[in-house]
């Protein structure tokens, strides 16, 4: 039994009505599509005075700071990478050709040496 009795029993509060602050629900469908649109475009933000736009999975600066645009820099980096790969392939081919030339030269020297030995042997027999 409680000491002071059960004097505290709050009343249940009535459920609140959800009041939307947006007036978009009052607009018809065509007006909502004009306002919100189905094509939102690429996300864009401005940080530290630079505008960035998200295109093709990468953030690209819209205001090029160094004279060249970000797209041009990306294109040049991609081209540079392609040229480096091509250069590595050509170096590999040169190494292989030099190895083949060395092998052929060694075989030729061996054959010349064998031919001289055969000539010397045939001269000794005569």
Average pLDDT, the chain: 82
Q: What is the pTM (predicted TM-score) of this model?
A: 0.44
- Residue 99, both tokens: 């190895």
Residue 42 to residue 50: CA distance in whole angstroms: 16
pLDDT, residue 20, reads: 65
Beta strands in 1-79 (DSSP E): 44-47, 50-55, 58-61
Question: Is the model's pLDDT at 97 over the cut of 80?
Answer: yes
Q: Can you give the pLDDT at residue 49?
A: 78
Statement: residue 78 has pLDDT above 90: yes
């Amino acid at each position: 039994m409680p000491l002071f009795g059960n004097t505290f029993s709050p009343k249940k509060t009535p459920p609140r009505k959800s009041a939307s602050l947006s007036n978009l629900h009052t607009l018809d469908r065509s007006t909502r599509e004009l306002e919100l649109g189905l094509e939102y475009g690429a996300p864009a933000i401005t940080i530290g005075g630079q505008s960035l736009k998200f295109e093709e999975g990468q953030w690209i600066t819209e205001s090029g700071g160094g004279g060249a645009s970000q797209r041009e820099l990306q294109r040049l980096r991609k081209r540079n990478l392609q040229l480096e790969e091509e250069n590595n392939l050509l170096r590999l081919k040169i190494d292989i050709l030099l190895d083949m030339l060395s092998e052929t030269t060694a075989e030729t020297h061996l054959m010349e040496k064998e031919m001289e030995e055969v000539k010397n042997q045939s001269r000794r027999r005569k």
